[in-house]
Amino acid sequence: MSNIPTTLKYTTDHEWLRHESDGQGVIGITDHAQDSLGDITFVELPEPGASFAAGEAFGVVESVKAASDLYMPVDAEILEVNEQLLETPEAVNTDAYGEGWMVKVRLDGDDKDLLSPEAYGEIVGSE
């Protein structure tokens, strides 16, 4: 069973969003996603300042099994990218909700369309 922290919001594409102070957030992929992908070998992330609409691809993760787009959970502007992942992409596998975060963003939209931890758990439980 995947680890699903109760303090986060989720997408059906297996991204998570953690709200921070001042209308900011942190985004990454879920434990279920990294487990399904296998060993992450490469992460491509956008430049700070780029803006994305909810559902728009903002990056790519590559693993020994596949390449997968990363989708923005909400309308947001990139404030910071996790530079550590460029050197050690396997941090996504070892700590998907901590050291494996992808981007920090300024939230431009709400998260009403995101899933609660319980709803996300039902989705991954049925896969």
The pLDDT tens digits for 105-116 are 999 988 999 999
Give the start-to-end residue ranges of the domains of the chain: 9-112
CATH code, 9-112: 2.40.50.100
Q: Cα–Cα–Cα angle for 9, 117, 35, nearest 5°?
A: 90
Residues 46-52: what's their mean pLDDT? 98
**Considering the entire predicted model, what is its pTM?**
0.94
Partnered with residue 77 across adjacent β-strands are 51, 106
127 falls in which pLDDT band (50, 70, 90)? low
